[in-house]
Structure 1
Amino acid sequence: MGLAGRVRSLFRGPDEFDLTSGGIGKPLLFLSLPIVVTNLFQTAYNLADTFWLGQYSTDALAAISFAFPMVFLLISLGMGISVAGSVLVAQYTGAGEEREAEYAASQTVTFAVVASVVLGGVGYLFIEDFLALMGASADVLPLATDYMQVISLGLAFMFGFAVFISLMRGYGDTITPMLVMFGSVVLNIVIDPFLIFGFESNPLFGMLGARGLEASLLAATGYTGSGIAGAAYATVFSRALALVVGLAIMFRGIRGVRIRHRDMVPDLRYLRRLFRIGLPASIEGTGRALSMNLLLFIVALFPDTVVAAYGIGTRVFSVVFLPAIAVARGVETMTGQNMGADKPARAERAAGLAAKVLFVALTVGGVVVWFGAAPIADVFTTDPAVVAVAETFLRYVALTFGFIGIMRAYTGSFRGAGKTLTAAAISVLMLGVVRFPIAWVAAGSIGERGIWLAFAVSNVVGAAVAYAWYRRGTWRGGDLTGEDVGLGDAGMEASTTDD
């Protein structure tokens, strides 16, 4: 088998394995591995921005430390729709009800567009006030506002692509989103430094030894860059192209779940169903985002070096936790399809296996981060003061990474079973009841180290609560396919019409 064959063997589509029968490990691996790669690409957006803006200025780096949680908050407010759509598609697919899965996907796209436009408009109008409320300094506030206003205007593209990924995952296709994400990330990384720096004093030219080309392009265009807003332009533009590709795939039905024009006519009965399933997921995501923003309120009490180090640390966590997030999404899909197929015991075995594997893998990763904390931080900034603070942050949290894996595995299974309220409760408990209060109290007595300590303690508590709650077995009643909410009039008409 050649190299290309070996690579293809690692990424199998939903037609090559069955999530509802046979072994547990291989289907979970083949489902999760493309999600890991997709999330790596997703994180590459943030890492590219962090790297280039770190070269731009410390204030710009501090600004995106405020901006990223804001982006997360806006997306989290609407993420319940995508989670509900993914769960319904997974359970209908497991039950063999293809038309219901298509209708669920189509309605999800419709209401996701509406939600993202509304949230983007609200974000654009009020983001500066919110950033000021969170304690952004006078130097950082205008930079963070410029970034977030561009993101707010492009939120429909960013959220729309996230919905595409969720719906395809619910069907069991994680390869197609991975490939689309790859193209989008490459585009973003290529245009990022040009939109930030323009063609004058662009560090990329210095790295490539192409100062002559830099001078020629500057003379020809006169473009000197858009600063931090340029990073936002790059992200929105690349996501918009990815969304166009994703919609084309779903409308044509060539891969994964199909959406149909007739099924996209707004069905308020179905909206209530999406709302009921998705609201707890939005609460969970919003709770995470609010926790990040409330922590920023505490972080902002310290100098900008601490704010910048906080941004570096959270970006590193986003990379390390990719396997946990990916496997949790895999567990979510496996649970959904097996609940639809009336096989809850198989879903439980998948969650248990995922929790064990993630605990070991992330603990090993945490040891690596603990020993390499300083060199890792040094990648993102040239400021030695920021490196020193980020090193301490990473070392406080690194050895608790494995517990995040346990929590993610079990909350993923809760969501797949339709128990999104339980998953939300665990997250809110971990972040709002444990992490934030500890950070608030400890920061007053031991400085920023109190914030780092809060991360470590909450990771352990979250894992313990998720495991104990899951062992109660209350998630087993989550099959949603038998509810009396079908295709609706528009869906029934479309069921005999191929558009």
Structure 2
Amino acid sequence: MEEQQNEKFQHMTQTPVPRLVCELSGPTIISMLITSFYNMADTFFVGKINTSATAAVGVVFSLMAIIQALGFTFGHGSGNYISRKLGSQEFEDAEKMAATGFFSALIAGGVLAVVGLLFLEPLTRLLGATETILPYAKQYAGFILLGAPYMTASLVLNNQLRFQGSAFYAMVGIASGAVLNIALDPLFIFVLDMGIGGAALATILSQFVSFCLLWMGCKRGGNLRIKLGNFTPTAAYFTQILKGGFPSFCRQSIASVATICLNFIAGGYGDAAIAAFSIVNRVAQFASSALIGFGQGFQPVCGFNYGAKLYSRVREAFWFCVKVALVFLIAVSVLGYAFAPQVVAVFRKGDAAVLEIGTVVLRYQCLGLPLWSWVVLCNMMLQTIGKSFSASIVALARQGLCFLPALFLLSAAFGLPGLEISQLCADIGSFIIAVPLGISTLRQMKLLKQMDAAQT
């Protein structure tokens, strides 16, 4: 076990940076693309029911964001800490954090499930469900809440595996569940005639399969074992989890709040508007999934080498990722803008209102897409090296500090056209916020390298 961990340390700190990032990001990109494709497939199959059912998926997406917020908080919080401790070769401390992050998430997911099921109708109304959407949203959310404990814990296992440099095992767990979900959706929705409840049941069953595979991945390849005896719920560990995971909590929770607000405002223009924004959100998520997967390959490189005080490798990895991501996102944005009507029509071809609104919103999203290359990777770097405050600011910027004001002000001033352009304005604002935070951190690492060189 210790020998395998030492070999992994050598690999993470000595392999040429571009090759190492590509090696680790390959499985995570595949994993993210498949997962995002599953999200679009879910919307596609539910879209065959009716517009209100499609809108319900968008409403319950906020609940999924809450579950993800818990999972990413414990997963990124523990994972960031683990990667730095493995970089400094403190293996026992890393094992305790792995267990603490996992079992804490399992408990938090269980609490969310109980509270959510007890207050199911008020919850779905709070998420933005109208009277016509409410029956579908309640059915979908009820199933999702049943799977909340292990869905939350799965996110922790996935992130811990990635931060240990075991992206392949993380990919197998996540991708297998997503592929199974795509297969189960039409079976449950149409063959077994379960409607939107079938889509939700397919989700929680496939997520459970992912959970089991991720658990098995922790027992292989020199990865840290999750043991109940290592569960250490102390203030010190929870402080580290909060420090490393708070930016993720900010990002996911504010995304949930933003989606709720968007649903409420869009609801004033009918179910078609909610359905259109829901479709565009899923398509944009798919477009950004490759970027996030690429960034997830960067994070363990960043954490290991920062922990080992190899700051030049962290800087090299960051700039390499930003340049590659920028080229990729420009290409995606051009294609998305050109074929926006065709993309939206895949999900709701027969609804002219959904097609019209969705096309405009998607084109605005594409204009801001290249800016994500800096914002996303800057956020990942800051979070991984433990700069929680700066990372939280960047995480809050896109959907909170910039989007919410734009959403309310522009929709009030210009109506639906203002609502449609609000996300682009938020992307520009978040980019302006992220640039100085990223540049100052890169300069600090350059100074740290010079100081270390002077001491030696």
1:248 to 212, 216, 220: 216
TM-aligned CA distance change 1:143 to 1:46, over 3 Å = same
- The reply to whether residue 447 of structure 1 matches residue 440 of structure 2 is no
> Who is 1:376 aligned against?
343
| Structure 1 position 233 matched with structure 2 position 226 | no
Superposed displacement of residue 131, structure 1: 2.9
For the 8 Å contact 1:65–1:311, the answer to whether it is kept is: yes
Q: Does 1:290 align with 2:257?
A: yes
Tell me, yes or no, if structure 1 residue 264 matches structure 2 residue 227: no
Q: Which string of whole-angstrom CA distances, capped at 9 and with x for unpartnered residues, describes residues 203-253 of structure 1? A: xxxxxxxxxxxxxxxxxxxxxx22111111111011112212221332x34
1:191 paired residue number? 184
Distance in structure 2 (CA, Å) of the matches to 1:356 and 1:374: 29
Shift of 1:71: 1.0
CA contact (8 A) 1:331 1:416 kept: no
Shift of 1:474: 8.0
Once the two structures are overlaid, the 10-residue window that deviates more, 162-171 or 375-384, is: 375-384
Amino acid at match of 1:337: F
Q: 1:388 aligns with which of 356, 362, 365?
A: 356
Code of the aligned partner of 2:152: F
Q: In the aligned structure 2, how far is the partner of 1:306 from the partner of 1:57? A: 14
Higher helix share: 2
Cα distance in 2 for residues equivalent to 1:38 and 1:449? 35
Letter in 1 for 2:204: V
For residues 441 and 269 of structure 1, the distance between their equivalents in structure 2, rounded to whole angstroms, comes to 42
Alignment of 1:139-158 (within 5 A): 139-158=132-151
State the alpha-carbon separation in 1 of the partners of residues 443 and 271 from structure 2: 44
Conserved in 1, the CA contact under 8 Å of 2:87 and 2:305? yes
Match of residue 303 from structure 1? 270
Closer, same or farther: CA 253–179 of 1 in aligned 2, 3 Å: closer
Q: CA deviation at 1:272?
A: 3.7
1:413 aligns with 2:381: yes
TM-superposed deviation, 1:16: 11
Aligned length: 438
Separation in 2, partners of 1:430, 1:179: 31
Whether the 8 Å CA contact 2:81–2:240 is kept in 1: the answer is no
Shift of 1:22: 4.4
Q: What residue number does 1:351 align with?
A: 318
Q: Partner residue of 1:461? A: 429
Range 406-415 or range 44-53, more displaced: 44-53
Residue in structure 1 matched with residue 63 of structure 2 by the alignment: 70
1:432 is displaced (CA, Å) by 2.0
| Contact kept? 2:87, 2:304, Cα under 8 Å | yes
Residue ranges of structure 2 left out of the alignment (5+ in a row): 1-6, 446-456
What do the CA deviations read for 1:111-152 (whole angstroms, capped 9, x no partner)? 111111112222223342133234421110121121112111
Q: Return closer, same or farther for 1:142/1:472 CA change in 2, 3 Å cut-off.
A: same
- Farther off after superposition, 388-397 or 120-129: 120-129
Q: Matches of 2:430 and 2:335 in 1, distance apart?
A: 22
- 2:84 and 2:304 in contact (8 A); partners too: yes
Instruction: Name the stretch that deviates more: 324-333 or 27-36.
Output: 324-333
> Higher Cα Rg: structure 1 or 2?
1
1:162 is matched with: 155
Greater mean deviation of Cα atoms: 424-433 or 227-236 = 424-433
Q: Which amino acid aligns with 2:384?
A: G
Q: TM-score, normalised by structure 1?
A: 0.83
How much has 1:344 moved relative to structure 2? 2.2
Q: Is the 8 A contact 2:127 2:260 kept in 1?
A: yes
Preserved CA contact (<8 Å) 1:327 1:409: no
- Which stretches of structure 1, 4 residues or longer, exceed 4 Å deviation after superposition? 14-17, 265-269, 474-477
In the alignment, structure 1 segments of 5+ residues that lack a partner are 1-13, 200-224, 478-499
Matched-pair contact (CA < 8 Å) for 1:414–1:475: no
Confirm or deny that 1:93 pairs with 2:86.
yes
Structure 1 residues 17, 97: closer, same or farther in 2, change over 3 A?
closer
Q: Which moved more, 1:394-403 or 1:266-275?
A: 266-275
SS at match of 1:400: helix
In the TM superposition, 1:24-63 aligns within 5 A as 24-63=17-56
Residues 15-54 of structure 1, C-alpha deviations (whole Å, 9 max, x = no match): 5983323432111111112111101121133122111101
> 1:434 pairs with 402, 406, 413, which one?
402
The aligned residue for residue 473 of structure 1 is: 441
Return the alpha-carbon distance in structure 2 between the equivalents of residues 236 and 242 of structure 1.
Answer: 10
Equivalent in 353, 361, 371 of residue 403 of structure 1: 371
Percent identity between the aligned chains? 25
Q: Secondary structure at the match of 2:12?
A: coil
Q: More displaced, 180-189 or 252-261?
A: 252-261
Q: 2:450 aligns to what?
A: none
Offset at residue 269 of structure 1 (A):
4.2
Tell me, in whole angstroms, the C-alpha distance in 2 between the residues paired with 1:45 and 1:173: 23
Determine if the alignment matches structure 1 residue 365 to structure 2 residue 332.
Answer: yes
The structural deviation recorded for 1:345 is: 2.8
Q: State how far apart, in whole Å, the 2-side matches of 1:292 and 1:405 are.
A: 22
